Amino acid sequence: MMIRDSLLIQKRELETRLKEKYLERAGDSKKLGSGLITVIIGPRRAGKSFFAVHALSRLGAFGYANFDDEKLVETKDYNEIIDAINSLYNNPKYLLLDEIQNLDKWELFANRLQRQGYALVITGSNSNLLSKELATHLTGRYSLINIFPFSFKEYLNAEEKELTESEIKEKLFSYLTFGGYPEPLLKKAEYKDYLSTLFSSIIYKDIVKRFRIRYAQAIEDLAVYLISNTAQEFSYNALCKVTKCKSVHTVQKYLNYLEESFIFFKIDRFSFKVREQIASNKKIYCIDNGFIYAKAFKFSPDIGKLYENLVAVELKKSEMNGIANVYYWKSEQQEEVDFVVKQGIKIKQLIQVCHDIGDIKTKDREVRALLKAGKELGCKNLLVLTEDYEGEEAISWFGIKEKVRFMPLWKWLLKVS
């Protein structure tokens, strides 16, 4: 009865959630009725289950189990879970299994349910459900949906009214600072408390407990250091020195855990030589600017780095959706281009993020790096994302002459999201 009681309580919570305000998300909800196993992954509390619940409610009745519940995770008899779901939901065709990565041998369970004829939707807050892991674990075909915190377009849609350009710019500053997590925005919760609690929950529940880390303070110190140095280069050796991690191997392992849990992601320095690319420093980014606001130990925000992080997140989405690969570029003279967007074997675009384009020295430095990278990488699609300046300029430098486009960040965010 304990399993059934837990699922009954979850069913009541589900009925309440269906009555809450819901904003349409960018994920393709049609995949849920395709007949394939649908896998929805993304950060904890980004809205995966809310997206799935509302998409499934349009298809008809469905059963639900959330494996964040210890009583469900601890059970050894998975048939008891299915029997209880069938009883509570009147033998549903569709099953939504939330945070399935918490369940031991989840892949065998999912495969069995598929063979038994259930239309399966599973969610997870761990990127190990991705790519080769999915291909290894799920013997049948599947469709993948990535759900992140709100994009800027989704953030604006929460206003439920048309905004003036001036209002959009004001909203960009709020989004830049507080990020796009749905719950504090829609329920008017206090951002710092909510995001700080969520951050700690991910560290201790999804990482420390899951991977049985003995010295939890070390991984928390590493996470706070990284979040305070977002959009910066790093090496594993340097991280080992500035944190309490005992070895480079430990740093690499902990950073992998943080990436798997969708707090951070890193991008490689671009090189045509794979070995050089692997050996070079990486750059670190955070999945949502709100975490930087809530947890970074800096007293004043670096607007330029917050701009860059927003761009990195949008480009990371395109990478996860299989559209492009993302890198940064750096010359031997330490000139840098923030983002190299590569599709197949071709460099599609070079992007520089420059908040303060009004400073002529800053503008010259950023554009020179773009021109030099463009020549080296054979790319003429050169873009600078700015606070407000928009236009196209033909720029010459040391025999290189190319057109460079300038676009306000808010316009680019609305275009790509």
**pLDDT at residue 135, rounded to an integer:** 67
**pLDDT at residue 391, rounded to an integer:** 96
**pLDDT at residue 140, rounded to an integer:** 65
- Cα separation of 218 and 242, whole Å? 11
pLDDT (mean) for 182-211: 93
What average pLDDT is seen over the chain?
91
The 10s digit of each residue's pLDDT in 380-396 is 999 999 999 999 999 98
The 10s digit of each residue's pLDDT in 107-152 is 889 889 988 999 999 998 887 765 556 667 776 678 889 999 999 9
- Cα separation of 1 and 4, whole Å? 5
**pLDDT at residue 126, rounded to an integer:** 83
pLDDT (mean) for 239-246: 85
pLDDT (mean) for 241-249: 86
Q: Where are the domains of the chain?
A: 2-146, 190-301, 325-416
Among residues 259, 309, 266, which one has the least CA distance to residue 284?
266
pLDDT at 379 over 80: yes
Are 2-146 and 190-301 in the same CATH fold?
Answer: no
Long-range contacts of 168-172 (CB under 8 A, 24+ apart): 168/410, 168/414, 169/388, 169/410, 172/409, 172/410, 172/413
Which residues on neighbouring strands pair with residue 68, listed in sequence order?
Answer: none
162: which 2 tokens? 């048309």
Domain topology for 190-301: Arc Repressor Mutant, subunit A (1.10.10)
DSSP annotation string for 105-133 = THHHHHHHHHHTT-EEEEEESSGGGSHHH
Of 25-34, 77-86, 360-369, the poorest mean pLDDT is in 25-34
pLDDT (mean) for 297-310: 85
pLDDT at 93 over 80: yes
pLDDT at 408 over 60: yes
> Yes or no: is domain 2-146 CATH 2.60.40?
no
List, in order, residues 6 or more apart from 333 with CB less than 8 Å away.
none
pLDDT at 260 over 60: yes
**pLDDT at residue 299, rounded to an integer:** 55
**pLDDT at residue 130, rounded to an integer:** 58
Of 8-17, 218-227, 317-326, 354-363, the poorest mean pLDDT is in 354-363
